[in-house]
Amino acid sequence: MAEHPRRIVMLVQNGVTGDSRVQKEAESAAAAGYEVVLLGASPSGKAEEWALGGATVRLVPVNRVFDRRRHEMRRGWLRSPLAYPPGPLAAYRQRQARAWRTDLDTARARGASAAALAPREAAYRVFWGWTGLRRKATRRLEADRAAAKGGVDRLAARFWKAAMGDRAWRRLDPALWDLELSFGPVVDELRPDLIHANDFQMLGVGARAKLRARAGGRDVKLVWDAHEYLPGMKSWKGHPWWKDAQIGHENEFAPHADAVVTVSELLAEMLRDRHGLTELPEVVMNVPDTSGSVEQPVPGLRERCGIGPGTPLMVYSGAPLEQRGLHILVEALPDLPGVHAALIVSYPQWRYVKRTQERAAELGVADRVHVLEYVPHRQVVPFLSEADLGVIPIHHWGNHEISLITKFFEYSHARIPVVVSDVKTMSGLVRRTGQGEVFTAEDTADFTRAVRAVLDDPETYRKAYAERVPLGEWTWDSQAKRLTDLYGRLLGAAGEEEEHPRP
């Protein structure tokens, strides 16, 4: 049997490339001497693999079968007897009607008389009307089920919560099984010594893999990296059962974690209280990695926007979610003549981004709005430094009130003034340091005021970085050491070798 360093398998439910935290964690663990495999979900549906520093990234195809709940796969005999059963029949009937219509038009083009075609036309109209009625009933049933607002839906949700408790996620959001069924076998094959599960959805995947390893006689440690305070966040999906399902899933598997990591001291305390943890979670802030090889982006931010150094430029960088509020940059532009807005987003193709661009066109400012894709995480700080100010316009959600988000630290290391909404933790820090302005969330007029204040006197805000902002504490080296020290406490030194058969 060959000797080997301890193996860490990291789990994340995204495609890795836009997630600077998991990339930095993987690189740092590998640099500390661990063998690291970072598993993410493939956005293309195809398996992919590449090197990330000394770590290996593997993207796993996720077969999304359970996005529809069990009752959505049944025919709605009582709720809507005219609706088609789930499956392809509704689309088939519609296409059948179109083919019939085309056949009749072809016959007419060949010279068939109206009288000759009358019986077929009458039959077609009956078929079209009947199938149209059923398609309408089908769409209404699907919408009702998706909204889960009917009395039967509310009754079902209450029943499953009462009958199954936290385990009710299996009925409320079985899509969590898609992650388990896709990632679980890969984790088992890798035979890790430690599993680092990022966020609440991958917690269950890591916990089940740990339990299977224990049943097979292997001791595998589980680290849960909690990025969010789940009860205080906005649901990722519109279904009213989704959030209760995630909370139950987290409650079921949190006790299996050997250690918990999170992003802020306040969140650490909240997680300890919520889950009755015996130890306070280790805080690893998601600050930029400014040591070593910081890469210069080519072309730079202003070149990509097509503007020169004298043009006022505000930037939003982050996920394009409505609760992040980036549309306020566009709404303010008519009252900020000459100012441009760069929206650096992880998914420029998402509908919210397209709606924001459409709104810019309606307001006549489309030429001053620039939608850009993410750059590699080592290029982020120099990329952002070309802007005049960075914007964090997030709305009032419980999770936002307690967070110091990644982009706050990235703007800070870029040494650009920040304009942040009045969410509790971030606005309080900005007021103390003087590195930017605070505005009332979702208030375009107040946002415009804050931007003008910064653009009118930028040096006052920039001076804060030399005088009051603790950039020296906000470095990844110090945070990475906390993480690798935690691994060492759980596993022993990375240099210690063990003998297992490895795949």
pLDDT-based confidence at residue 225 (cuts at 50, 70, 90): very high
What is the DSSP-derived secondary structure letter of residue 385?
T
pTM of the entire predicted model? 0.83
For 116-135, write each residue's pLDDT tens digit.
Answer: 999 999 999 999 999 999 99
Model pLDDT, residue 493 = 52
Residue 497 has pLDDT above 60, yes or no: no
Own/partner contacts of 204-209, CB < 8 Å, gap of 24 or more, are 204/176, 204/179, 204/180, 204/249, 204/252, 204/253, 205/11, 205/179, 205/180, 206/11, 206/253, 206/256, 207/253, 207/256, 207/257, 208/180, 208/184, 208/253, 209/184
Q: What is the largest CA-CA distance in the chain?
A: 91
**4 pLDDT higher than 50:** yes
The pLDDT score that the predictor gives to residue 494 is: 45
**Confidence category of residue 495, pLDDT binned at 50, 70, 90:** very low
In the numeric block, the tokens 């009749």 are attached to 104
The pLDDT-based confidence of 190 (bands split at 50, 70, 90) is: very high
Provide the pLDDT for residue 502.
58
Q: What is the mean pLDDT of residues 205-220?
A: 97
Backbone angles phi, psi at 20, to 5 degrees: -65, -30
Q: pLDDT band for position 503 (50/70/90)?
A: low
Q: Would you state the pLDDT for residue 472?
A: 87
* Residue % of the chain over a pLDDT of 70: 96
Asked whether the predicted pLDDT for residue 265 surpasses 70, the reply is: yes
pLDDT mean over 212-230: 96
pLDDT in tens, 323-382: 999 999 999 999 999 999 999 998 899 999 999 999 999 999 999 999 999 998 889 999
Residue, of 149 and 350, whose pLDDT is higher:
350
Which tens digit of pLDDT belongs to each residue from 372-421? 999 988 899 999 999 999 999 999 988 889 888 889 999 999 999 999 99
What is the average pLDDT value for the chain, to the nearest integer?
92
Residue 499: pLDDT over 60: no
For range 483-487, the mean pLDDT: 97
Q: Say which residue, 493 or 22, is predicted with more confidence.
A: 22
pLDDT per residue over 65-89, tens digit each? 888 787 777 788 778 899 999 889 9
**Three-state DSSP class for residue 2:** coil
Q: How confident is the model at residue 295 (pLDDT cuts 50, 70, 90)?
A: confident
Degrees (nearest 5) of the Cα angle 302, 304, 308? 30
pLDDT of residue 147: 78
If one compares 465 and 70, the residue with the highest pLDDT of the two is 465
Contacts of 22 (CB under 8 A, 6+ apart): 10, 12, 16, 38, 40, 198
- Which pLDDT score is estimated for 293? 65
156-183 mean pLDDT: 95
- Please check the confidence at residue 160 and state whether its pLDDT lies above 50: yes
* Mean pLDDT confidence for 467-495: 88
Range scoring the smallest mean pLDDT among 43-47, 48-52, 72-76, 223-227: 72-76
pLDDT confidence of 2, banded at 50, 70, 90? very low
Q: 5 Cβ partners below 8 Å, 6+ apart?
A: 33, 34, 35, 494, 495, 497
Say if residues 487 and 32 touch (Cβ distance below 8 Å).
Answer: yes
